[in-house]
Amino acid sequence: MQILIATGNAHKVVELEQLLAGLKVQVDSAARVGGMPEVEESGTTFEANAKLKADALRALAPKEAYVLADDSGLEVDYLEGAPGVYSARYAGPNADDAANRDKLIAALAGVNPVQRTARFRCVLCLLTPIGATQYFEGSCEGVITAQASGSEGFGYDPIFVPEGYRETFGELGEAVKSRLSHRAHAVQALRDFLAAGN
């Protein structure tokens, strides 16, 4: 079984490959079929954006391949769910991870630690060879720190402390993150689906 990952983000491909380890699947990046097409993420939900990306790659993928796309982001309660679907471009269309983190830290300046609750959310969209669409969701609760700490991970990892821990995902490292993350929870639901012979 071949699963093509609908992303141009090498971090995500590696993370998904690790999370799917042990299943009888061959995980390939979009580069295997010429690269991920440019997709305007115009959806207002994670589900809608994941489907847009999956559909874009489906047009290039072999008929017998599965296509997997994810859309994920950080929802901060104090900011009424922002940055949400705009997490990757929170500080602007060409913003890097550091700029996005800096904008979020500034938006929460002076906010009491107990009001800095947030969650990472991930929605996976799987397109099967027979044309079915399946969604799998996962989340990870935590709080936003006042400053970045740690060099592991990417995105908002250095300013997110998962529930039950004192260190950020940037400090905890991949082994812990792979158990706790929103993507790990979504992939577990996907693993259950695939292991059932779907």
Active site residues: 71
Say how many CA atoms lie within 13 Å of 143 toward its Cβ. 14
Distance between CA atoms of residues 24 and 79, nearest Å: 41
- CA distance readout (Å), 164 to 47, 65, 141, 152, 160: 28, 39, 9, 19, 12
Distance between first and last Cα of the chain: 11
Q: Read off the tokens for 43.
A: 């959806």
144 closest CA partner among 130, 129, 125, 157: 157
Question: What number of other Cβ atoms are within 10 A of residue 129's Cβ?
Answer: 14
